[in-house]
Amino acid sequence: MLKKFVYLTGGLDFLVGAATWAGALANPQPGQFVALMTLGTFLMMAAACLIWASRNMMDRAPVIFWQGLVRLTAACSVLYAVPAGLSETWEYALVAFDGPVAIVYLVGMTRLTGASPVKLLLCRDSGPPRDASGALN
């Protein structure tokens, strides 16, 4: 179930990246075009990384954990921005969607691997011991 969730939510990042490109191309604005095109590509790269990581979550858990941190940052930024008058209405969706996804990624990877959040944050291997070639000992 967690594997499918990571795969599906990762795939949705492709759509968000494409929509970011479409917005940039539909109404090119100085000071925004390059940033939006780059952001769209970054979102598509994140999608590819999540789909890749979903195929071997034990060994690639830090990728998913870090994506959880990215999504948690988005949700918390909106929560900070609302009372400060810095948030637009569409950004509330980040709290509703990315907030819960972030929690699933963060809690899911710590439970799946048994690794501490610090180990996942530092990309420390939490799996069984392996030799230099990557084979299990």
Sequence spans of domains, the chain: 1-55, 57-137
Residue 36 in contact with residue 27, Cβ under 8 Å? Answer: no
pLDDT(132) > 80: no
Q: How close are the terminal C-alpha atoms of the chain, in Å?
A: 29
Task: Measure the CA–CA gap between 79 and 15, rounded to whole angstroms.
Answer: 24
Give the global pTM: 0.84
pLDDT(125) > 90: no
- Per the structure block, which two tokens stand in for 130? 């392996």
* pLDDT one-digit tens code per residue, 32-91: 999 999 999 999 999 999 999 999 999 999 999 999 999 999 999 999 998 888 988 888
pLDDT(26) > 80: yes
User: Which pLDDT value is given to residue 136?
Assistant: 59
User: Which pLDDT value is given to residue 2?
Assistant: 95
* pLDDT one-digit tens code per residue, 6-17: 999 999 999 999
pLDDT(129) > 70: no
Higher pLDDT, 104 or 136: 104
